[in-house]
Amino acid sequence: MWILYFSIIVFNLIAIMMKKKLMRIEYYSCILFALFTSEIVDRFAEKYDLYGFFYPFMIEAKTLLVLFGIYPAASMLIINWYPYDGTWKKKSLYLLGWSIFSTFYEWLAVRVGFLYHHHWNLWYSAISYPFLYGMLLLQVSFFRRLSKADMISPKS
């Protein structure tokens, strides 16, 4: 459990102290999108007995620690440091780096027991993370387009 507490403290300290490159509303909308998406994915994962947190089919305070302690901060870090003006190669390497880190972190979480795998393995995660993080970045882009459109012709 100490890994979970340590992660929450470190991720959140970094997220709070990092130089912010985006507007607060972009972080907020991204965090909500990440929480919404993770909740849907996690419900299906539990339904089909793929993976889950702590004990199967139970929602408890420890699970909320993962949801609200790690996901928002990690989402902020991913979208803040993304090389928006970088080359396609740099952007791809960035997503690959986060995917490798996340896969390692998931392996660690399984080892210490706050995540369990049943009909799931790390290769599925390694393949899924780039798409999930890509969706997160597409959400930022979508939010910016909506904001820009509203500035041009606001709807009352």
pLDDT digits (tens, 9 = 90+) for 87-145: 999 999 999 999 999 999 999 999 998 888 999 999 999 999 999 999 999 999 999 99
- Residue 102, both tokens: 């996340």
- The yes-or-no verdict on residue 54 having pLDDT over 90 is no
> Would you call 73 helix, strand, or coil by DSSP?
helix
Domain ranges for the chain, please list them. Answer: 2-152
Strands (E), the chain: 51-53, 115-117
At residue 66, the pLDDT reads 87
Q: Once rounded to an integer, what is the mean pLDDT over residues 73-98?
A: 98
| Main-chain phi, psi angles of 150, to 5 degrees | -65, -30
> Would you call 36 helix, strand, or coil by DSSP?
helix
At residue 46, the pLDDT reads 84
Rounded to whole angstroms, the Cα distance separating 132 from 153 reads 31
